[in-house]
Structure 1
């Protein structure tokens, strides 16, 4: 054992995966570990461009209001830097037209907003900040190929270089990316001992398999799969256009119209448009499939916005795979914490993933500060708190996914049906009552718990409606 309960470890922390979840996790541990090593299979580009290790990066992304608050707490001034890099501030009401399953939401004096930019801009600014920390080092072009330790404790990782070439910056997006796995490199395998190992390797994490190889029990998990598929494209914003709003979100109307579309303003005077469909209504590939899916949305507003817009890139598809919540707080060896999509993967249509990853970074910093280092007590507390901060997002997304008839897995029963009926009433109230709309946005932005929708004033407005 490399650390003890009485002397918390302040040695090495290894982060598997150098995507957004990994780099903010590394940043969160600064000051509590003498050495923090981020192992990333890609080589970072010099400029903010799309890269193969983040296949979801070409699609519309949201950092919810709660996520921006978390990011600013972790990296003071970062939101101002995003705005300077071209991110657009979009108020959740007024700037955003939102068509829910019940109809268009009414405007109100919104207190919340989000900054809209492409994923590479967000990733590059965060990475640049993390690189200013001397205790954090990056192993680029390197695979993690296994864990060190036993069924009782993880004590480090096994790594292997993938080669010296930079490799393509653009890759297939038919499946989710990962920063772990066996890869194609033929370098020598070497060990990196560590007091703490953070798995931030994303949707296709290999850590559950490696834990089995160490003799650990299988990690309990929940799964829900609505069969969502994406297609996205960048457009030049037509000169002089003034729509009176900046963004539009056309939600699905389960179960009969399982298609959605979103348009967000991004840097470079462009729009990013992402279309999605659940199982049985997936977008067809290519430009023709994009145009066809656009015409099948339940409202023509998005199609009308793009009538005069010129494409600024190719159509890109993405298959996220199922939603998975892994319960490491119930079963995990000492010295391991799993964060981001490697711990909880949500249907991307709800825009929760980045924000929950930032919550996980806050957890790491909070628990390391509580125990004064990165020892086993820190890891145990962090596993419990990661589960807690992801619970609400999972509950909301999985409960919505099961509305679609082709969904597999997920919650069921009378309580879920009761939740659906009440939320339907809330959404109807949000089409005409500003107080209901504001409460709904607070919950969806993860700044308020779902109980906010049961505040007496909201319940009264819903019942009156």
Structure 2
């Protein structure tokens, strides 16, 4: 008797990739699969340190307010665990000094915050929780090298252990396969090899690049705020800078630029970019700070949103960056990955297992989870002349004109600033900016 005969809709789920999107997806499936296998190409470090498989981890990360709520729903107590690991709570007003497109944002009585720490701390807190679940297994130091199945259904994966010797390829049958391999996923190529039609895609590429460095926070550096964000201003100011407090009494400073304004390499490029920002505040804050590490660069690549809900074989769901990648300057990626885990959990609960019906509905849920973030980030990206792809036309131009009025409103009216933060934090939909009280404040300006 097969597993499916014993328990329809149950069986084995394989997760490709053991990053944040992968381990939270595995956690979401607990209780609905008899075995959940996470295949990770790296071997996890024992401490909260950077690892090669997450190159973007060396740059500033934050989980938006909506992401913290999602993580707390998935893993109750996670906020306390992050705080115990050294994460700093940063209120979205007061603690955060934000230079928006139209000027410094007005303060308001903040009801929202985020926890600021390095990515390894966030990953380790989540991973430690996931390791407590007996049904979740980890296959570390192993590559997924292909899919099993046909154009109609994915039925498992092919894996090979990493190392100097070419290990033999093994097959792992599965009732559900989760692609959480991130921006570099090979699943679209493997689906083509199975004879599948490619999933429709949306693409936008602002050519963003990063340069980041950790600093020891100087004694007496308190200026009345914990974090600084110097935003871009389209079309003529394509550079940004962010300073965030992290564990170990340190700051992480990430500098970024759109195509044509990318930070140069190394310390020289970092310092030159720092001096070219719209305001000298960030440069002044780090002037007396001692570096706590080398300058690290990162080329993000294009934003891609794959519509697997329109074209995908049975038994496969993509989550996180494997489904939708965003320009990282908007800080949406981690939060959307957590939304994907919530969508998986909801659909598995509704269908009572991990069968094809769950996968089909989960694909729709994942697409819905990324809709607002994609709309906001892609619409903002196309303001920069060197951006390729993305939305265009009269509607987009009207959106930009209204948003310019909103940006101006955030500098003088706390009602507008609060609504703006709610939308940017993915707590409220963009329609919040058209609420009568907000609309009136914007138009008065």
Kindly tell me: are residues 337 and 3 of structure 1, through their superposed partners in 2, closer, same or farther at Cα, counting changes over 3 Å?
Answer: farther
1:394 to 374, 385, 405: 374
Asked if 1:301 corresponds to 2:301, the answer is: no
Aligned to 2:214: 234
Aligned to 1:122: 122
Cα separation, 1, equivalents of 2:138 and 2:300: 27
SS at match of 2:402: helix
Question: Where in structure 2 are the equivalents of 1:366-377 lying within 5 Å?
Answer: 366-377=346-357
- Offset at residue 185 of structure 1 (A): 6.1
SS at match of 1:358: helix
Aligned to 2:186: 206
Asked if 1:343 corresponds to 2:323, the answer is: yes
Q: TM-score, normalised by structure 2?
A: 0.98
Aligned to 2:152: 152
Over 6 Å off, 4+ runs: 2-7
Cα separation, 1, equivalents of 2:221 and 2:190: 53
Cα separation, 1, equivalents of 2:354 and 2:22: 16
Aligned to 1:413: 393
Aligned to 2:440: 460
- Offset at residue 4 of structure 1 (A): 7.8
- Offset at residue 332 of structure 1 (A): 0.1
Aligned to 1:384: 364
Q: Deviations over 1:345-399 (max 9, x none)?
A: 0000000000000000001110000000000000000000100010000000000
1:278 to 258, 272, 285: 258
Aligned to 2:225: 245
Cα separation, 1, equivalents of 2:385 and 2:165: 43
- Offset at residue 121 of structure 1 (A): 0.3
Kindly tell me: are residues 370 and 6 of structure 1, through their superposed partners in 2, closer, same or farther at Cα, counting changes over 3 Å?
Answer: farther
SS at match of 1:232: strand
Could you say what the CA RMSD is over the residues aligned between the two structures, in angstroms?
A: 1.3
Cα separation, 1, equivalents of 2:166 and 2:348: 36
Aligned to 1:169: none
- Offset at residue 12 of structure 1 (A): 0.1
- Offset at residue 8 of structure 1 (A): 3.9
CA contact 2:9–2:354 (8 Å) conserved in 1:
yes
Query: What count of residue pairs does the alignment treat as equivalent?
Result: 444
1:317 to 297, 312, 318: 297
CA contact 1:5–1:376 (8 Å) conserved in 2:
no
Q: Deviations over 1:333-353 (max 9, x none)?
A: 000000000000000000000
Aligned to 2:102: 102
Kindly tell me: are residues 409 and 3 of structure 1, through their superposed partners in 2, closer, same or farther at Cα, counting changes over 3 Å?
Answer: farther
Q: Deviations over 1:186-225 (max 9, x none)?
A: 1110110001000000001000000000010011101000
Cα separation, 1, equivalents of 2:303 and 2:439: 31
SS at match of 1:203: helix
- Offset at residue 241 of structure 1 (A): 2.0
Aligned to 1:57: 57
Aligned to 1:254: 234
Cα separation, 2, equivalents of 1:251 and 1:338: 31
SS at match of 1:392: helix
Aligned to 1:181: none
- Offset at residue 3 of structure 1 (A): 8.7
Cα separation, 2, equivalents of 1:362 and 1:50: 26
- Offset at residue 5 of structure 1 (A): 12
1:422 to 383, 402, 413: 402
Kindly tell me: are residues 86 and 3 of structure 1, through their superposed partners in 2, closer, same or farther at Cα, counting changes over 3 Å?
Answer: same
Cα separation, 1, equivalents of 2:358 and 2:265: 46
Cα separation, 2, equivalents of 1:57 and 1:303: 23
SS at match of 2:114: strand
Cα separation, 1, equivalents of 2:341 and 2:306: 17
SS at match of 2:81: helix
CA contact 1:92–1:112 (8 Å) conserved in 2:
yes
- Offset at residue 9 of structure 1 (A): 1.7
Asked if 1:137 corresponds to 2:157, the answer is: no
Cα separation, 2, equivalents of 1:85 and 1:383: 34
CA contact 2:39–2:143 (8 Å) conserved in 1:
yes
CA contact 1:66–1:446 (8 Å) conserved in 2:
yes
- Offset at residue 7 of structure 1 (A): 6.6
Q: Structure 2: where are the runs of 5+ without partners? A: none
Cα separation, 2, equivalents of 1:17 and 1:4: 25
SS at match of 2:171: strand
CA contact 1:104–1:431 (8 Å) conserved in 2:
yes
Cα separation, 1, equivalents of 2:6 and 2:66: 35
- Offset at residue 257 of structure 1 (A): 1.0
CA contact 2:20–2:123 (8 Å) conserved in 1:
yes
